[in-house]
Structure formats: C-alpha cells, structure tokens
C-alpha cells in the first residue's frame, strides 16, 4: 500500500512516500486516543473509522475528537465496516473492540481478507495460542494467504509484564525465577474494562461472577506467562490464576466507572506458571479506579533471580491508557514491515516512539 514517487528538485531526485494510511475499528477510550496520537505525528492519514455508538455514526471524526481538522480530509464515522474500511483502502487497521481472541477473530478475519494489516488491543491476542491454538493457526493462515500481518499488543499484556521481562533477561547468563508486579489504575480505560473488572458491583455479585466465570478480571496472565516461557524455552506444565475483589471504603468515580463505598473498585489478580513442577513465573496485579483516593501508590516491578539478579522498579506505574495507545501506534511501522502472518511482540523489533516522519520507518 505504501507507494513512492520521484520528485526532481534542482537536479536532485528525491524519493517521497505517500502517507501511511490507518483505519480504526472501535472509537472508545482507546480507539479515539489512538486517533489523537496519530494526528500529532507526521506521515499518517486516518482513512476511516467504524463504531456502533449511535452518537458517533454519520459524524465527522474531528467533531467527535474536538480537534481542528486543518487540511485533513473528512473522516465520517460509519457502523458499516465495508464503508469504513473498503478492501485495500489502508495500510493497517487498529482494532480496539474486544478482550478475547474468540470475540475478536471474526473482525480480524474480515480485515485480513480485505488485505489490511491489523493491530488488535484484545488482551488474549498478545499471545493467542495460549488459549486459542486453533484460531491462532487460522489467523496465521488467513494472514499469509492475503499477504498481510496481524498482531495483538498493548501496555499489558504486550509490554510491562511480559516483553519487558524478556528484554531484561538478555543481560543474564541464567534465569531461575521470574516475579512481576503491576499496581495500576483502571481509571483511563473504558466501559468494557470496567465491566471485566467488576467495577461498581457488590462483593456478592463479584463472588458469583468468579464462581460462574462471567467476571473476567485481568485478561492476559496466561498470555504473558506463556510468552515469557516460550522466549526462555521453558515449557509451562501448569498454570493457575486467582482473583479477589478490592472493596472501596469511599465513593470513587473515573471517566468510565463508578464504585460507591462498600462496592468493588477493582480486582487483585495473581497467577503462577510452573515448569517441571516448579514455580518459575509469579505474577501479581492489583488494579482499581482512582487508587490515589485511598493512598495506594502505583508502580511496575520486575524481579529476575539468576546470574546476575535483576531488579527493576518504576514509580508511579506507566500510565495504562497512554501506554496502550502508544504501544499500538508505535508498532504500526513494524507490523507493516513484517513478513505476512500472525506475529507476537517477541517476533518483531522492540517498540520505540515515533518521533520523526513515520514514512521514514517503512522499508
């Protein structure tokens, strides 16, 4: 899709590239945030937006964002994916709609068959073979057949509790044990995440949701643990996960969530990965809306035991909303440059901020 043309200036031939064309499917907190970031960068063009919000349909994207349009062409939001993203109409689509591979798969299939590269925010898509090996094979096959690439990424999974661990292990001779903790705020995220975490429900409703499996909590532990293990050539023979409610004693309100005193403000998630019967990977992830209201300090912590030991601490946490948006946008050139098929974050070059013209990053 990226095309070049020659421009002759004072006898010098300069090769210039067309803008990198990006479409967005899902225009909630993450999708609209990606649009705002893209519009700040040089060399991008947003070609289409698909969303089901009746307040958005038929309106110009720039009006929704509250931004000056400048010389950008109109982008009219549509609920019809064929109108928003026709075949070969863009280089890449950002899919910001689901958390689970099974729910995201039909949309991904549509985009791949339109011969469009895809970056998905679905947490399970960060390492889909952990829970959906069959769909993983299907996606890889469809992407290869259509000559495009698909990947799932975000702040977590995608970086803080998996890829960063793998990078830090690069300075070690041996790794004996991995411990990762992310204490974060849910406040930047949208309604879907609020529902997954049980924000605003009673403890009784939370316990019932855990019991019957309708409450997701953090999605991605299995993906993170298996990504780390595969990178280190460990074979996980047992995976365990636990979740407990974080009950607030004060009313808390975020842009997309509300929890009154006595109800659930978030969830404390823990998980373990065992290799040959030994606990090798331990994860701890308490997350809630407005943690500062109750004096909870956020942060990211990685402890690798081995030769040598590695200890990393980041205070406060890397912002989950900005981080997810940036990870997806910053991976765009790497996904476009990649060989076709399904990829993961350990397959492509490490993420880096786009500070110049994104067209210069396209091979």
Which pLDDT score, from 0 to 100, does residue 7 have?
37
**Predicted pLDDT of residue 42:** 97
Across 157-166, 187-196, 201-210, 310-319, least confident range: 187-196
Number of alpha carbons in the 13 Å side-chain half-sphere of residue 229:
25
C-alpha distances (whole Å) from 87 to each of 94, 116, 208, 336 are 15, 7, 44, 16
Give the residues across from 118 on adjacent strands: 93, 150
Question: Across residues 95-122, what is the average pLDDT?
Answer: 97
> What is the C-alpha separation between 273 and 163, in angstroms, rounded?
16
Q: Is 110's pLDDT higher than 90?
A: yes
Determine the pLDDT at residue 189.
84
Q: What is the pTM of this model?
A: 0.90
Q: Are strands 264-275 and 278-288 parallel, antiparallel or unpaired?
A: antiparallel
Q: What is the pLDDT of residues 121-170, one digit of tens each?
A: 999 999 999 999 999 999 999 999 999 999 999 999 999 999 999 999 99
Q: Which residue has the tokens 């047992």?
A: 238
The pLDDT of residue 284? 97
pLDDT-derived band at 2 (thresholds 50, 70, 90) equals low
Mean pLDDT, residues 296-320 = 96
| pLDDT tens digits, one per residue of 208-262 | 999 998 898 899 999 999 999 999 999 999 999 999 999 999 999 999 999 999 9
Q: State the pLDDT at residue 86.
A: 95
Q: Cα–Cα distance between 129 and 125 in angstroms, integer?
A: 8
- pLDDT tens digits for 13-49? 445 689 999 999 999 999 999 999 999 999 999 999 9
Q: What are phi and psi of 72, to 5 degrees?
A: -70, 145
């Amino acid at each position: 899709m990226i095309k070049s043309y020659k421009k002759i200036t004072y006898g010098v031939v300069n090769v210039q590239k067309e803008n990198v064309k990006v479409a967005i499917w899902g225009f909630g907190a993450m999708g609209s945030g990606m649009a705002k970031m893209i519009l700040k960068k040089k060399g991008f063009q947003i070609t289409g937006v698909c969303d089901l919000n009746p307040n958005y349909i038929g309106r110009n994207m720039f009006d929704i964002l509250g931004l000056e349009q400048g010389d950008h062409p109109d982008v009219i939001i549509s609920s019809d994916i064929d109108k928003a993203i026709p075949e070969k109409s863009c280089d890449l689509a950002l899919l910001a709609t689901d958390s689970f591979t099974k729910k995201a798969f039909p949309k991904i299939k549509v985009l791949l068959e339109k011969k469009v590269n895809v970056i998905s925010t679905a947490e399970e898509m960060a390492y889909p073979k952990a829970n959906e090996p069959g769909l993983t094979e299907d996606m890889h096959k469809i992407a290869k057949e259509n000559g495009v690439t698909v990947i799932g990424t975000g702040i977590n999974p995608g970086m803080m509790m998996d890829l960063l661990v793998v990078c830090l292990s690069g300075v070690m001779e041996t790794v004996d044990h991995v411990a990762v903790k992310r204490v974060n705020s849910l406040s930047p995220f949208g309604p879907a995440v609020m529902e997954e975490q049980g924000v605003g429900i009673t403890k009784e409703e939370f316990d019932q949701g855990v019991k019957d499996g309708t409450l997701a909590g953090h999605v991605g532990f299995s993906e993170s643990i298996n990504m780390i293990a595969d990178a280190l050539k460990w074979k996980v023979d047992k995976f365990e996960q636990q979740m407990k409610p974080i009950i607030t004693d004060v009313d808390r309100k975020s842009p997309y969530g509300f929890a009154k005193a006595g109800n659930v403000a978030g969830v404390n998630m823990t998980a373990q990965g065992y290799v040959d019967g030994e606990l090798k990977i331990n994860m701890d992830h308490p997350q809630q809306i407005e943690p500062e209201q109750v004096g909870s300090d956020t942060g990211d912590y990685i402890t690798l035991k081995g030769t040598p030991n590695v200890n990393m601490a980041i205070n406060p946490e890397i912002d989950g909303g900005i981080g997810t948006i940036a990870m997806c946008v910053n991976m765009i050139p790497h996904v476009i440059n990649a060989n076709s098929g399904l990829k993961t974050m350990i397959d492509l070059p490490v993420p880096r901020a786009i500070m110049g013209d994104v067209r210069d990053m396209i091979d």
